[in-house]
Amino acid sequence: PRKPLRVLITGAAGQIGYALAPQVATGNMLGSDQPIILHLLDVEPAKNSLEGLRMELVDGAYPLLEAVHTFTDVAAACKGVDVAVMVGGYPRKAGEERKDVMAKNVSIYQQQASALEANASKNVKVVVVANPANTNALILAENAPSIPRENISCLTRLDHNRALGQISERTGKHVDEVKNVIIWGNHSSTQYPDVNHGTVAGKPIRQAVNDDAWLNGDFITTVQQRGAAIIKARGLSSALSAANAVCNHVRDWVRGTPSGAWTSMGVVSDGSYGVKEGLVYSFPVRCCCGKWTVVQGLAIDAASRERLTATEAELVEERDLALQCLAERK
């Protein structure tokens, strides 16, 4: 039997945590043959609700779940973890400035970076979900120099899956037949959902959809603004689809992307496609043996280049704001 893997979920008492923990326990993240030990972290005021989640997980009697531990201390929570899903963060509230929210998150991610570095497994794989996801991941990477850069990522798989879903609905083909869309850039409304290299049932997406006006217009804005549409419909932000995307992200990373297909992950840029090195930017990646590589050599047309650059510019601006917040705290 496989040795259990320790999975940390921060912000576990929140909405995504409630959807994610059972999905990890049933094997959606690491496979139906992989025993799991869950580490659930949240802040002191959420302690009771965290305990409630622990009780429900015990009551789930999940065959793969070896143990569930709850924490309000971040160092203890990070001890020996193999996968860290960083969902905890400070949400923007009405009337707050972007900079105030950034300052709060940057300080959370700086602190949690040190805790991970000091306590997690040396080969820990980190995925940041909490917004601003790319910039939180960048701050985490900068403050955990001994964790290999390539082990730090942010979630854009939800956006990727949303793009697959839109193409599937439009063409009437099962979502499993839609492949190789790309999310470029920031997990924000400047992201670029790119269909130029994708296929539906083996045909190029542009050919299968046969409506460039839709693909260049409503398709892109629908994917970019899907999060807001869910909030409007549910009164709460996406949680079950976010949790599922986290599982897909980690699963592909650990176990590999299917042959012939790629996915989208926010990773530390190595300069591919001219994206400034060191930014956490979403790229098309293939994964094999626990490592991702950026898919190289895709032709980028002028309209796409403009979008790649716009989302990069937003990430530079976010990074500068984050670094300014850190400098002001010193």
In the complex, the residues that contact ligand NAI under the rule CB under 6 A are 10-11, 13-17, 41-43, 46, 87-91, 108, 129-131, 133, 155, 158, 187, 237-239, 242
Give residue 249's identity as a one-letter amino acid code. Answer: H
**DSSP assignments along 128-139, one per residue:** E-SSSHHHHHHH
Q: Tell whether 13 is in a known binding site.
A: yes
Q: Is 73 or 306 the residue whose CB approaches ligand NAI more closely?
A: 73
CB under 8 Å to 117, separation ≥6 — which residues?
Answer: 143, 144, 145, 146, 147
Q: Is 68 or 133 the residue whose CB approaches ligand NAI more closely?
A: 133
39, 69, 160, 187: the active-site residue:
187
Count of residues making up the chain: 330
Minimum CB separation of residue 142 from ligand NAI in Å reads: 18
Can you tell me the distance from the alpha carbon of 282 to that of 267, in angstroms, rounded to the nearest whole number? 6
Q: Is 108 or 220 the residue whose CB approaches ligand NAI more closely?
A: 108
Q: Tell whether 129 is in a known binding site.
A: yes
Q: Is 108 or 181 the residue whose CB approaches ligand NAI more closely?
A: 108
CB of 251 within 8 A of CB of 29?
A: yes
- DSSP conformation class of 317: H
Minimum CB separation of residue 25 from ligand NAI in Å reads: 17
Q: Tell whether 157 is in a known binding site.
A: no
Give the burial class of 145: count Cβ atoms within 10 A of its Cβ; 0-12 exposed, 13-18 middle, 19 or more buried.
exposed
Can you tell me the distance from the alpha carbon of 317 to that of 129, in angstroms, rounded to the nearest whole number? 19
187 has catalytic annotation:
yes
Give residue 276's identity as a one-letter amino acid code. Answer: K
Q: Tell whether 159 is in a known binding site.
A: no
Among all residues, which ones are annotated catalytic?
A: 187
Binding residues: 11-17, 42, 92, 98, 105, 129-131, 162
Binding residues for substrate: 92, 98, 131, 162
